[in-house]
Amino acid sequence: METILKITNLNKIFNKHLHAVKNVSFEIKKGNVYGILGPNGSGKSTTLGIVLNVVNKTSGDFEWFGGKSNTHDALKKVGAIIERPNFYPYMTAKENLELVCKIKGTSLSKVDEKLELVGLLERKNDKFRTYSLGMKQRLAIASALLNDPEILILDEPTNGLDPQGIRQIRDIIRIIASQGTTILLASHLLDEVEKVCSHVVVLRKGEMLYQGSVHDMIENNSFFELKSDDKEQLKLALQNHPSIEKIEEEEGKVLVYLKQDIAAKDLNSYLFEQKIVLEHLVKRKNSLEEQFLELTKN
């Protein structure tokens, strides 16, 4: 699969002491939807700022499209919005987008098409400063799509929006993703990432904690919830099972964490052989949120 962006050992130190990005490396492949997760101040925006040429890196490297073109040429094939929508307030939506077309060197004919996609066509001749935050954010997405980019980078696209606004943005992202555009989405709204992304990178305090598919991140951490009349005997029997890592008690239930995956049916028959009859057996997965909180704890 074609690599769109490759980051190797990237570091950023602000003002000689604030280490905002520590040795981050990852790759973005064509066609996937990536999420960058991390609490506020974890270095998400800084990392994006570096690859987008607005923040200077301290050390390390990044390479767009296999290093075939320099960064500012590569950026003409990228669509990005970061933090908040930045436009000239005294120009209309149409004029703002035409300006972006001139910068990117694309034809002005795309302007109406993209305004239509984000549902702003009727308001195209209104000044940007009259727009609501949700409309501004949608205009920013339209602007990022003007050049039909190979990759769309969105940094907190739903920040500060109302539920309708969040839904609209999410729907637009879905449409774009379904058209095969690679997307890199930085967010701390985890259900958003879980719903939209196929891969995640998790950052905390500038360090990369996890990189891989959303599926693996959740799947590797399944656990059982068990209940039986004789809790002590149940625990004793479980301790002797080779695939079990630890046992915890919560609200009268026994939670069983695994070293390696076992099927629910196998666990059930094992316990039955040990003369234990279960009252309650559920195999559960941590949601991305729980998994994320676990990863970024302390």
Residues binding another protein (CB under 8 A): 14, 49, 52-56, 72-73, 75-76, 78, 80, 82, 84, 86-91, 95, 98-100, 102-105, 143
Give the containing element (helix H, strand E) for 103. Answer: helix 93-104
What's the closest the beta carbon of residue 53 comes to another protein, in angstroms? 6
Give the containing element (helix H, strand E) for 177. Answer: helix 163-178
- Report how far residue 7's alpha carbon sits from residue 233's, in angstroms, rounded to the nearest whole number: 52
What's the closest the beta carbon of residue 155 comes to another protein, in angstroms? 10
Q: Which is nearer to another protein, 56 or 179 (CB)?
A: 56
What's the closest the beta carbon of residue 222 comes to another protein, in angstroms? 41
What's the closest the beta carbon of residue 138 comes to another protein, in angstroms? 16
Q: Which is nearer to another protein, 73 or 162 (CB)?
A: 73
Query: DSSP strand E in the chain: where?
Result: 3-14, 18-29, 33-37, 59-64, 78-81, 151-155, 182-187, 199-204, 207-213, 222-228, 244-250, 253-258, 278-285
- Report how far residue 187's alpha carbon sits from residue 35's, in angstroms, rounded to the nearest whole number: 7
- Report how far residue 53's alpha carbon sits from residue 72's, in angstroms, rounded to the nearest whole number: 7
Nearest of 287, 81, 297, 290 to residue 183 by alpha carbon: 81
What's the closest the beta carbon of residue 69 comes to another protein, in angstroms? 11
Q: Which is nearer to another protein, 8 or 69 (CB)?
A: 69
Q: Which is nearer to another protein, 3 or 53 (CB)?
A: 53
Q: Which is nearer to another protein, 86 or 239 (CB)?
A: 86
